[in-house]
Amino acid sequence: MPANTGNIARTATGTNTKLHLIEPLGFDLDDKHVKRAGLDYWDTVDLEFIQIYLPLWKPYKHLMNYFDF
């Protein structure tokens, strides 16, 4: 997961898009794998942290019985 996040952060920076990270993360953003994958892009990443994921599902509430939430 840390390396994937670093790679996605690099892509977000390159495409000038915001990176949304849903907390709690299963790792620390200071992890060496995140830093290695993101190289020197972390200072330029437009990050937004979302505390919980359930509000994102509100428009799909009718589908909730299909998922284990």
pTM for the complete prediction?
Answer: 0.61
Angle at 39 between CA 33 and CA 42, to 5 degrees: 95
Please give the pLDDT value at position 59.
74
Contacts of 64 (CB under 8 A, 6+ apart): 57
Domain ranges, ordered by start, for the chain: 2-66
Amino acid 33: pLDDT: 67
> Residue 54: what pLDDT?
65
pLDDT in tens, the chain (69 residues): 777 888 888 899 999 999 998 887 777 777 676 666 656 777 888 999 988 766 666 777 776 665 554
DSSP codes, 42-67: GGG--EEEES-SGGGGGGGGGGGGGS
- Note the pLDDT of residue 23: 81
Right CATH for 2-66 from 3.30.70.360, 3.40.309.10, 3.40.1280.10, 3.40.50.720: 3.40.1280.10
Q: Which two tokens stand for residue 56?
A: 């994102």
